[in-house]
Structures are given as C-alpha cells and as structure tokens.
Structure 1
Amino acid sequence: MLRPTSPVTGLRRRRLGPLEVLAQSVAATAPAAAMATSPGQAFALAGAPPSALAYLAATVVVLLVSSSVGQFSRRMVAPGSLYSFTAKGLGGTAATIAGGALVVGYGFLVAGALTGAATSGVALMEKVAPGVSGPVPVVLTITLLGVLVAGFSVRGAGVSARLGLALEVVSISIVVVVLGIALAAAFSRYGVPHPSVVLDGGGHPFGPGGQGLLLAVTAFVGFESAGSLASESRRPLSVVPRVVRWTALTSGLLYVLAAAAQAVVFAGTPGLGGVPLPLAAAVSVLADPTLAAVLELGILASFVGCASGSLTALVRLVFTMSREGVVPRALGRTGPRGTPALAVVVATALAVAVPAGVLLLGVSPADTLRGLLVVGTCGYVGGYVLVCLAAPFFLHRIGELTAPPVVVAVVASLALVAVLGACTAWAVSAGGGWVLTASALLGLGVVRAVVLRVRRPSLVAGIGLYDETVRRDVLS
C-alpha cells in the first residue's frame, strides 16, 4: 500500500535534472580550488614537490568508495546519503556515529572553503591596497561570503547547485590556463626535471607519514554529495550513481595532471612552502603577477562554489537526522522553497565562527585552512569507512551479496584507515589544538550514539529514513 506522503515531505521532490545533480557533486568537490591548492599544501608539508603517484593512489581509493556508495544509491533514495546507507547495513548506532562524523566533515569543509575564498580575496585586495593585512580583513570576508552562500542555499538546492557549477567551470578554465603558462615558463627557465620529481616527489611518493596521501584524499571530499539531492532529482536511482562515479574519476584525472605540473613548477621555485597560496607565488616568479591575480580570482570562485555545495549537503543531512530525532526537530522544518532555513542559518553561523575564532587567536590563514580541511577530512573518512563496511551487510540482507563488493569494501576500508592514521599524525605534529578539536567532535558523535542506544532504543532502531513512492507519484 502506498503512503499518502513521503517521509521527506517538505523537500521539493523530483524537481532537479541531471545537470543540477552533477553540479552539486562538482561544487562540493571544488576541483579547481583543489588543483590549485592541494599540491601546494602537500609541498608545504613534505618539503618536496607534490607527488602525482599520491593523487593516483587517492583516485583509486575514492573510486572504490564510490563503488560501495553505488550499492546503496542504485537501490534507495535518501537525502541523508551515507548516514542513511550506513543504517541499512550496520544499524542505527553505527549510522549515528557516521552522521556525527559527516556533520564534522561537511561543516569543516564549509568553514575551510570560506577561509580559502577569503584568503584569496584578501590576497587580491592587497594588490590594490597594500595596507590590507592581518586577520580582521580575512574574518570580515569570511562573514560576508558566509551570508552570500547562505542566501543562495535558502533560495533552493537548484539555485545553489547552478551557482556552484557556473563558478567551477570558470575556475577550472582559469586554473588550467594559468598552470599551463607556469609549466611552460618552468620548462623554459629550468629545463625538464628528472621523471622521479614528477612521479614521486623526488623520493616522497606519499609524503612523511603518508601526509601527502592524506592531502590527496582531502581534494576529493564531497564527491559523493550528489546523494544529498536524490529526493529532489527526477531519476535518482540512475543519475546519482553515475554522477558520483564520474565526479571521482574526472577529478582524479585533473588532480594527477595538476600535481605532475606543479611538481615541475615547485622544483624550480623552492622556498614557497610557507606562503598561503604557493602556486600563485610561483606564477608571480615564473610568469606575470597579473596571472597570479587571475589565479587567485579563480580559486576564490571555486571555494565559494565549494562552500555552497557543501552547505547544501550538510543541511540535507541535518534535515534527515532531525526528522528521525537524532538532532533537534526544529532543524528539519522546511520553508516555502523546500529548504530547512533554520538549519542553513545555524550551519552557516558555526562555519563562520570557527575559522574566525582560530584566525583571531593568531593562527595564520595557511595553517587555518590546512587545519580545517584536515579535520574535515577526518570526519569524511570516518563516514566513508562505515559506509564501505555497511555495503556487504546491506547486500547480504537483501540477498544480493557477491564476492567483488566484499573485496572492494575491505580494500577501501583498509586504505581509509591508513588515511585516518596520517590525519592523526598530522594533527599531532601541528599541535594539540587540532588533535583536541577532531577528537572532541568525533567523540561527541560516539557519545550521542551510545546515549541514544541506551535511552531511546526504539528511535535508534528506526534510523534509516529514505524517500518512498507515494500515491501522487503513481497518479502523476
């Protein structure tokens, strides 16, 4: 018997086309910003040119994760995405832990994207007004961009996704052109480097302690966020799995090429590891400072799109968790545009407050950006591990388990655990603050799951909300 209404009533169901669903994953992943900043961050950590092998290995790992995610997204439609998928394989307690980890992941990615955009914006302002410096301009820019992104998110997922895709297309074009010019200038000035520099960073294929691989994986986070718009997509069971897989594959190709190119660029321009945007600094040295300004503009646009897409995914996750009673139910109320407006406001306020507080304490923008992205990646990877482990159990429950999904889940989980180890090692080396932040936030999710398990077992047993066909769907 069909229900009269869907469990996700309030969202604008079946409104978005394939392009808008693709836009969501592309915007949240922000390939342009990752291409321009991730290899430079790896350069700063390792003290050696970035490794194309690290990005190739990360691409393989992420494709394995996308395969596990696809086992669910081809069979169910859930705006909670990985949180709801985990519930169907490992139960409500594991899903609550995954949900907490993903809130950390999405939330810190929004905060990191706003910080990256503000850093690029202030760098551009300094070229016009050299006196603009210090944390206050960055904090003010983060706040302004947060308000802008929240406004688009409240207007609806389609508006937010289209904004993100438009910004990303422009940004990728800028990064590719500028990177090509810098590469040609490096070849002309320094000649062709040894192949080992391009492939393995001159002997550091994954960076010290695997931190290069960690930053390579960081470049992919958000690739699965198309699932957050599944209920709002017209053909979710076919569109979402394809979008997730192709976002991972295409982004990986771009990252490998960008890392190889920047290995050549950085090999000839040492001493840039401590600057906020090493690639922009290298372009200023090798080519024209005007090109560096154009690159910073592209990075700014990409980070704004990333903040928009990540906020959309975060709000859909919070919407699902609130409908199930895991977080306050007020956060699941939707307005006339089908958006949980209160959740948007609360999430944006926190995403602005965290980096603002860190910057005002005296942490540099480069270290703040790196810390936010690494803590966010810890959250994402925790969610990825749980959904990979859940996939075989889910397939067993529905009588469709075969050997390949088990192998994929085991290999992906082991690789992701190694990334978590690198994440922990980096946090320890960077100081106690980031360790405490990541541990406390992820620990809160575990505590919340245990408390709910003890006090409200019936609520935990019912976790796993997903969209269902309703009478109106059939009649229409």
Structure 2
Amino acid sequence: MPGPADLRALRRTSPVDGLRRRRLGPVQVLAQSVSATAPAAAMATAPALGAAGGGTPSVLAYVLATAVVLLVASGVRQFARRMVAPGSLYSFTAKGLGPVPALLGGTALAVGYACLVAASLTGVALYAAALLAGATGAVPGPAATAAAVIVAGAAVAGCAARGVGLSARLVLALEAASIAVVAAVLLVLVLSAGEAGAPGPVAGDLLALGGGDGVLLAVTAFVGFESACALGTETRRPLLVVPRAVRWTALGAGGLYVAAALAQAVVLSAVPGTGGTPLADVAAARGGPVLAAALEVGVLASFLACAAGSLTALVRLLFSAGREGVLPAALGRTHPRRATPVVAVAAGGGLAVTVPAALLLTGTGAGEVLRGLLVAGTCGYATAYVLVCVAAPVFLHRIGELTAWPVVAGTLGAASLVAVLVAVAGWAGGADRAWPAVAALAVALGGARAWWLVRRRPAVLAAVGLYDETRREDVLGAGTA
C-alpha cells in the first residue's frame, strides 16, 4: 500500500486531463489499430494501386513487409510498455531523441494520419460511385463524388466528437464485416477460377516483388497499425493492452495480406481487371453484379472504418500538441461532457475533407486522388517510423534497460524504411511525383516551427513529449482528490 509520502508525491491532475480515462477494453483498443490499418480495403485495392505503378505486391512482398512492420512494432512496444501518451510516436520520439526530432516526427505522423483519413474518404466515394454505376448505369460527376467525401467526412467527424467508445464499436463492426465479405468474395473467385480451368500463376509470379513498387505498396497496407497507442489514456491497463494490440494488428494484417496476395495471383491471372476497381471487375465477370456489389460494399465499409480510426489518432496527436503549446491551445480543449477534443476533431476532419474534395472538383479522378494521398501518407508514416526505430534504443539506454535486440530491430527497421522512402521517390511518376514533395514540405514546416521555438519559446519546446501521469484519484478512487 502506498504511504502518506507516496500519496503526497502524486499529482492532483494529469497533463492530459479532459480525456475520459480508463474506459476502453482490449477489444476496443485492438479495433482502433485494425480499423486504421483497414485490412479489407488494402486486400481489395492493391491490384488497382499496383497496376498504376507497374506491378502488384506478391506473396513475397507482403512477407517482407510484415517483417519490416514487426521490427517497427518492436520499437513502438518498448515505449508503449513504459508510458502512456495520446501523441503516440510523437511523444515517444521526444523521450528518445529530444524535442526537435519529435516535432519532425510528429509533423510526419500528422501528414500520415491526415492523408490516410483523406484517402479513406476518397475510397468511400470511389466505391460508392462504383455501386451506383453498377445499379443504375449512371457515373457520378466530380461534384457528386466530392459531395460523397464531404458527407462521409461529416459522419466520421460526428462519431469522433461523440466519443471514442462509440467510434471504436462502430469501426470494429464495420471492419470485421468488411474482412469477412472480402475474404468470402476472394474465396468464391478462386474456386470459380479453378472450376473454369483457368491457368494459375507460376512460381515466379508469386515470389517476384511486383516491380520496384511491390514492397512499397505492401508496407503502405500496414500504416496505422500503431494507432492504438493514441488511446492509452482512455484504456484500462494500457501498459499491457496497447502493446498487445500493436503486435497482433501487425501479425494479423500480415497473415491476411499474404493470403489475399495468393488468392489475387490466382484470380487476376485468369481474368485481369482493367478498371479503377479491378477486383470488383473480376467479381462482376465471374460472379455477376451481386458478387461485385458485395465486394464494393465491404471495401466501402472498410474505408469508412479506416477514416474513423485514423481521425481518432490524428485528433489525439493534435490534442497533445495543443496541450504542450506547440500548436494553438484550443486544440487541447475537450468537451466538458463528451470528454473529446472537439476543436481538434473539427480541425483534423476539416482538413481531411477539404483536400480530396477540392482535388475532385478540379476534375482529378478519384483513383488518382486515392493513390496520391496514399503516397504522401506513406512518406509521412515511414518518416515517423524511422525516427521511433532510432529513438527506442536511445531511450532504453537512457533508462538503463538497453539489450541487444532493440538495437538490432531498430537498425534493421530504420534501414528498411529508408529504402521504402527511396522507393517512393523512384516509383511516383506523373501527377504522383508531387505527393512526396508535399509530405517533405510539411515535415520541413515542422522543422521550421522547431527552429522558431528554440529561438523564441524554449520553455514550450522543453514541454514536448506530453504523457499521462498517475493521479491521486487513480490510486484512491473518485472523490478523494
């Protein structure tokens, strides 16, 4: 039992007070990481993204990507087992490398989250248009597609503003149903290809990386797996639950992607898709419009869940930066009854809706917008992952708990992700080429902000790395503080 001196040493408040503490269980926390990763959408859209870049990720590409992501997860878990921080990788990097690298990593992570929300809303509009075209033959114009993005964004932001408990339950149901639908459709297509005597893929097709972009696209499918860390404050037993959610999301997604890549190698070798949704084209050709519609509904729901999960993580990141004073303090305010950062929800959701809607209204195709946002988002995530891989062994050395494995995992993970960033620059072509530059510019702005804080507001810079702290009320119970 803690003694009087121990109790006096505890804080009456936590730096992250305002969030609803210790309410979420393991399933809800796992749902956060799974939804942000969006396995169902990734399983179905990889063929279209790969076709645009000259190849489709193979089984080997996903195996390698799973290994890379598990290395990153190892570094993330070193922090998640020891501290609770709504800013997740941003705050973790601060504890390992200091505030300036943390601001760079935090900016990169914000780019990743924001682009993933925007890409997911675009995916919702893309597959809603495909459903409409299949049902009526009418192809929605740019204004209708942009309106779909706005409506989906408003729905997702509304759920986030009402509370993370509601959002977690919603995304869990959506993603579980989506995975089941996509897996069932793939199974039907594989069986129908076998019955038709279609030629299967050769061993080289299964083991080739899928062109220079193969591993890149495979890594893109995993981004967001770490977002359970953003809910640490709101989780019961966070030092146990959050690291498990991070690890099992990476492992589970890797298994699904390898199986889906194998199935798609069989299906697409028999009937190659030619449209913006090639797997749905194959489903329509082999199983009819009902099977294609089932696939499109499943992917649409997965994109919607991904938008909700990614917005939740983005909002917690903005909340942390607002509480620290790095960003406007209003972002760190929470609703007195809902206990949600409503200003951060409005800011993050507004940005994620505005960018794709504006691009769609200029006449840019939804597929192009989706692909470009994923390129920029991957750049942001990979940068943040590199920094946390480097920060983990430094942090462990600082607290006297360094062993050999974190050094090996951090080195291999960082080197692999640098190679992914190089691949992004080499793969992106045409209109996509601007997206890595946009991500780089955003990170540079984060560096400029850090430089300004060093010169003008060093006390704010010193506060970077906000994390939750145990309060007297946590030990003694409500009403005793």
State the TM-score, normalized to the length of structure 1. Answer: 0.96
**1:207-265: CA deviations, max 9, x gaps?**
22xx1111111111111000000000010000000010000000000001101111111
2:216 to 214, 217, 222: 214
In structure 2, the residue matched to 1:223 is 225
**1:86-108: CA deviations, max 9, x gaps?**
00000000111111001100000
In structure 1, the residue matched to 2:304 is 304
Contact kept, 8 Å, 1:168 with 1:302, in 2: the verdict is: yes
Contact kept, 8 Å, 1:198 with 1:260, in 2: the verdict is: no
**1:128-185: CA deviations, max 9, x gaps?**
3323322222111110001100111001111111100000111011001001111112
Q: 3-state SS of the aligned residue for 2:389?
A: helix
Rounded Cα–Cα distance in structure 2 between residues aligned with 1:39 and 1:313: 27
In structure 2, the residue matched to 1:426 is 427
Whether 1:104 aligns to 2:108 is no
Rounded Cα–Cα distance in structure 1 between residues aligned with 2:190 and 2:204: 14
1:401 maps to amino acid: L
Q: Which moved more, 1:113-122 or 1:31-40?
A: 31-40
Contact kept, 8 Å, 1:43 with 1:50, in 2: the verdict is: no
Rounded Cα–Cα distance in structure 2 between residues aligned with 1:314 and 1:431: 24
Cα 1:8–1:436 shift into 2, 3 Å:
same
1:325 CA displacement: 0.8
1:50 CA displacement: 3.5
Rounded Cα–Cα distance in structure 2 between residues aligned with 1:323 and 1:279: 45
In structure 2, the residue matched to 1:440 is 441
Contact kept, 8 Å, 1:171 with 1:298, in 2: the verdict is: yes
1:191 CA displacement: 3.4
In structure 2, the residue matched to 1:460 is 461
2:209 maps to amino acid: P
Whether 1:43 aligns to 2:51 is yes
Rounded Cα–Cα distance in structure 2 between residues aligned with 1:277 and 1:445: 36
In structure 2, the residue matched to 1:294 is 294
1:304 CA displacement: 0.5
**1:391-449: CA deviations, max 9, x gaps?**
01100000011111100000000000011111122334445532442232222122222
Contact kept, 8 Å, 1:58 with 1:217, in 2: the verdict is: yes
In structure 2, the residue matched to 1:24 is 32
Q: 3-state SS of the aligned residue for 1:313?
A: helix
Contact kept, 8 Å, 2:201 with 2:269, in 1: the verdict is: no
Identity %: 57
Whether 1:121 aligns to 2:123 is no
In structure 2, the residue matched to 1:243 is 245
1:150 to 135, 144, 157: 157
1:22 CA displacement: 0.9
Contact kept, 8 Å, 1:428 with 1:435, in 2: the verdict is: no
2:178 to 162, 171, 174: 171
In structure 2, the residue matched to 1:254 is 256
Rounded Cα–Cα distance in structure 1 between residues aligned with 2:435 and 2:421: 14
In structure 2, the residue matched to 1:392 is 393
Give the aligned length: 468
Rounded Cα–Cα distance in structure 2 between residues aligned with 1:433 and 1:34: 23
In structure 1, the residue matched to 2:93 is 86
Cα 1:73–1:282 shift into 2, 3 Å:
same
1:262 maps to amino acid: Q
Contact kept, 8 Å, 2:53 with 2:427, in 1: the verdict is: no
Whether 1:313 aligns to 2:320 is no
Contact kept, 8 Å, 1:101 with 1:379, in 2: the verdict is: yes
Rounded Cα–Cα distance in structure 1 between residues aligned with 2:273 and 2:42: 21
Rounded Cα–Cα distance in structure 2 between residues aligned with 1:68 and 1:226: 14
Contact kept, 8 Å, 1:381 with 1:416, in 2: the verdict is: yes
Cα 1:18–1:435 shift into 2, 3 Å:
closer
In structure 1, the residue matched to 2:17 is 9
List alignment gaps of at least 5 residues for structure 2: 1-8
Rounded Cα–Cα distance in structure 2 between residues aligned with 1:104 and 1:154: 21
Contact kept, 8 Å, 1:330 with 1:342, in 2: the verdict is: yes
Contact kept, 8 Å, 1:197 with 1:264, in 2: the verdict is: no
Contact kept, 8 Å, 1:103 with 1:314, in 2: the verdict is: yes
Q: Which moved more, 1:460-469 or 1:5-14?
A: 460-469
Whether 1:449 aligns to 2:435 is no
2:178 maps to amino acid: S
In structure 1, the residue matched to 2:76 is 69
List alignment gaps of at least 5 residues for structure 1: none
In structure 2, the residue matched to 1:205 is 209
1:97 maps to amino acid: L
Rounded Cα–Cα distance in structure 2 between residues aligned with 1:67 and 1:446: 27
2:288 maps to amino acid: D
In structure 2, the residue matched to 1:232 is 234
1:198 CA displacement: 4.7
1:288 CA displacement: 1.6
2:159 maps to amino acid: F
Whether 1:191 aligns to 2:198 is yes
In structure 1, the residue matched to 2:384 is 383
Rounded Cα–Cα distance in structure 2 between residues aligned with 1:270 and 1:176: 19
1:74 maps to amino acid: R
Rounded Cα–Cα distance in structure 1 between residues aligned with 2:262 and 2:54: 15
Cα 1:378–1:142 shift into 2, 3 Å:
same
Rounded Cα–Cα distance in structure 2 between residues aligned with 1:432 and 1:166: 36
1:194 CA displacement: 4.2
Contact kept, 8 Å, 1:198 with 1:261, in 2: the verdict is: no
State the TM-score, normalized to the length of structure 2. Answer: 0.95
In structure 2, the residue matched to 1:326 is 326
Please tell me the root mean square deviation across aligned C-alpha atoms, in Å: 1.4
Q: 3-state SS of the aligned residue for 1:434?
A: helix
In structure 1, the residue matched to 2:141 is 134
Rounded Cα–Cα distance in structure 2 between residues aligned with 1:89 and 1:418: 23
Whether 1:410 aligns to 2:411 is yes
Q: 3-state SS of the aligned residue for 2:428?
A: helix
